[in-house]
Structure 1
Amino acid sequence: MVESANEARSSGRAGRWKQTGAKLFPGIAVSLLVAVTAQFLSDHYGAPAMLLALLMGLALNFLAEEGTRTKSGIEYSARTVLRLGVALLGARISVDMLTELGGVMILLVIGGVVATILFGMVAARFFGRGWRMALLSGGAVAICGASAAMAIAAVLPKTDKSERNLAFTVMAVTVLSTIAMIAYPPLSSWFGFTPLESGVFLGGTIHDVAQVVGAGFSVSPEVGETATVVKLIRVSMLAPVVLVFSLAIRAGRLDADAPGGTRPPLLPSFVIWFLVLAGLNSFGFIPVSVSYLAEQLSRWALLAAIAAVGIKTSLVRMMEVGGTAIGLVVVETVFLAGFVLAGVHLIG
């Protein structure tokens, strides 16, 4: 009788999982299809895959309308798959990368992250934007572009403008990151930077990891390796920044103007997993092959997630963000570049 009861429970769980899987599959499949298409176009035409995934997703907004078979899976991809992608980023982080740069350069990179976020909070007032847009755009510019924007958006109190602001921020930082990838290498040569200084400048200022790699290795292999390490140090700031944001929101310091917002947990599980993987990698428990696999899974998960965010977002509503938001992201980008540039000059 006991065995029969256990079998019935197991059968019930399997049935629920199967039902949930069938409900989510169409939307997840669409998000993955958009991600694969975006990566294919990126490989053949050189445009950023994140930007392509977002734009194609925006064109498929009708798939996220109420009553469609794909709605549940798209929402799952924009939420859970996104968190998985951010968590897996931790497998690339290790303490060893910090020793390769030296304490002064590390402080410069960390200082750039903190200063840019604080600058964004102040600048947002002049542009007439709220604190949510300030944290979202400032964190995206300061840390790691689209990935940081998605992670920060996951811990901000939700409003009816959350998806729109996230889609806009991802598009803005990706476009600016692509412009920086083209413009910054000649700028570092014009200033006469050494390979170390060029790597710190490129890795400390360009938003997305892919563009940092492209810009660095376009100068030289040494600059590319240094720029990548610097960029990963910025990525490692994601967890403490999200924690600080969560603490400030829960303390009520930022949430006073959000009567309809819902407070996120103190430290989301995906950030905890990010830290766990970073710790395991630092102690050498994650083989290189597994770290590479985690990196690839993270990239595809984030690509599918941003495709889903695009599908959920109405292009008309996203355009309502306005020119002041564009101006905010631009001045934050210029501030970060100026901060790192001045720091490299002073240190050099």
Structure 2
Amino acid sequence: MATSKARLARGRLAGEIFRPQRAWLAARLPGVLVCVTIGLATTFLSDHYGGPVMLYALLLGMAFHFLSQEGRCVAGVDFAARTILRFGVALLGARITAGQVMQLGLGPVLTVIAGVVLTIAAGRLLARLLGLERELGLLTGGAVAICGASAAMALAAVMPRSGHAERDLILTVVGVTTLSTIAMVTYPLLVTSLELDHAAAGVFLGGTIHDVAQVVGAGYIISPETGDLSTVVKLMRVAMLVPAVLAFSLLFARSASGGQTGRLPMLPGFLVAFVLLVLANSLGLIPAAVTGAASDLSRWCLVTAIAALGIKTSLEKLAVVGWKPVALMVGETLFLAALVLTAVLLLGVGG
């Protein structure tokens, strides 16, 4: 009898201890499950019928916008759009090693660095010329320059949460995903018509196409050698996410403080995790099976986060932005393509 009472008391104590955790989980689980379900559906569509899974997840998520207004799914959708997003970006680090970067040689590395820096600067300038906000120019420039939708979400995570922040992120994801798909089809035709060799073609494709999946698709259309090199060049661009996010953190922290310099802001946790995973992978501490699992999990997290962003998006708000953001992203894409093509043709990068 005494033993039974003691067990009952311990059970009640454990229930009291874990009650906040259960309440936290119960509040977020419905929304997260909705986002995961949308991710599963869009992955099925992409695998069986082709097309970019990110764009499918975004569009299908928009059909469930009503879930973001009120009800049990709101907290989970917000959690997926922010926390799961950052976790997915951090896991991208497991795909990169310092050895992959060193294999490229100096020319492609300098081309990638110049492409990222100058494209972000061009985005800022084009935004000013078009009368758009500075934040949109920087966000789209970073997305075009680095790794498409993944970069857009990572950069947006450290930018100010203004009234237009989510709308700008959705515009950027839709724009760069669409342009990346177009590039996957047209850029192989361009490098073939220019009669670029495998190395030069790999540098051009990996240095210009926005999303990793589209780079892989375009590269292996040309040849296995081009596909391998274009993937490594693309991963070098993904690695540029670290200094870009850090620079954005410093820029907007300074803007928020009225331009005064002071203590450096703390690094975002997901950026620290990204760097640690790159270092661990470079030192061979992560087995190949774990790297593959981390890559798959990262992809699922990003698709889930994109579905959440779609749910939070109002088509009515998107309809009022006009043609200027589209012109901005097209201009940035053409600028990056011209820059890398000049390096390949005139400077012999990759040749």
TM-score, with length taken from structure 2: 0.93
Equivalent residue number for residue 113 of structure 2: 110
Whole-angstrom CA distance in 2 between matches of 1:112 and 1:9: 58
Whole-angstrom CA distance in 1 between matches of 2:346 and 2:14: 65
- Please show how residues 85-104 of structure 1 align to structure 2 within 5 Å: 85-104=88-107
Whole-angstrom CA distance in 1 between matches of 2:177 and 2:258: 31
Equivalent residue number for residue 231 of structure 2: 228
Change over 3 Å in CA distance of 1:6–1:141 after alignment to 2? farther
Whole-angstrom CA distance in 1 between matches of 2:25 and 2:181: 37
Secondary structure at 1:213 match in 2 = helix
State the Cα deviation string for residues 18-38 of structure 1 (Å, max 9, x = none). 111111111000000111111
Equivalent residue number for residue 277 of structure 2: 277
Whole-angstrom CA distance in 2 between matches of 1:248 and 1:31: 32
Contact kept? 1:144, 1:235, Cα under 8 Å: yes
Contact kept? 2:120, 2:145, Cα under 8 Å: yes
| Equivalent position amino acid for 1:234 in 2 | R
Q: Return the offset for 1:128.
A: 0.7
Contact kept? 1:165, 1:321, Cα under 8 Å: no
Contact kept? 1:250, 1:266, Cα under 8 Å: no
Equivalent residue number for residue 302 of structure 2: 302
| Equivalent position amino acid for 2:183 in 1 | A
| Equivalent position amino acid for 1:97 in 2 | Q
Contact kept? 2:250, 2:265, Cα under 8 Å: no
| Equivalent position amino acid for 2:162 in 1 | T
Whole-angstrom CA distance in 2 between matches of 1:6 and 1:213: 56
Q: Return the offset for 1:12.
A: 3.0
| Equivalent position amino acid for 1:89 in 2 | L
Q: Return the offset for 1:230.
A: 0.5
- Please show how residues 211-226 of structure 1 align to structure 2 within 5 Å: 211-226=214-229
Whole-angstrom CA distance in 2 between matches of 1:55 and 1:129: 24
- Please show how residues 25-104 of structure 1 align to structure 2 within 5 Å: 25-66=29-70, 68-104=71-107
Equivalent residue number for residue 207 of structure 1: 210
Change over 3 Å in CA distance of 1:10–1:272 after alignment to 2? farther
Whole-angstrom CA distance in 2 between matches of 1:255 and 1:137: 24
Equivalent residue number for residue 24 of structure 1: 28
| Equivalent position amino acid for 2:299 in 1 | R
Look at both structures and tell me which one has the larger radius of gyration over its CA atoms. Answer: 2
Over the matched positions of the two proteins, sequence identity in percent amounts to 50
Secondary structure at 1:159 match in 2 = coil
Q: Return the offset for 1:347.
A: 2.7
Aligned Cα root-mean-square deviation (Å): 1.9
Q: Return the offset for 1:98.
A: 1.3
Whole-angstrom CA distance in 1 between matches of 2:170 and 2:301: 16
Equivalent residue number for residue 140 of structure 1: 143
Equivalent residue number for residue 336 of structure 2: 336
Whole-angstrom CA distance in 2 between matches of 1:347 and 1:184: 20
Q: Return the offset for 1:191.
A: 1.2
| Equivalent position amino acid for 2:218 in 1 | A
**Unaligned 5+ runs, structure 1:** 258-263
Q: Return the offset for 1:47.
A: 1.1
State the Cα deviation string for residues 302-337 of structure 1 (Å, max 9, x = none). 000000000011011122222111100000000000
State the Cα deviation string for residues 193-245 of structure 1 (Å, max 9, x = none). 11011011000000001100110111111111111100000000001101011
Whole-angstrom CA distance in 2 between matches of 1:167 and 1:43: 23
Equivalent residue number for residue 311 of structure 2: 311
| Equivalent position amino acid for 1:31 in 2 | C
Secondary structure at 1:96 match in 2 = helix
TM-score, with length taken from structure 1: 0.93
Whole-angstrom CA distance in 2 between matches of 1:89 and 1:331: 27
| Equivalent position amino acid for 2:32 in 1 | I
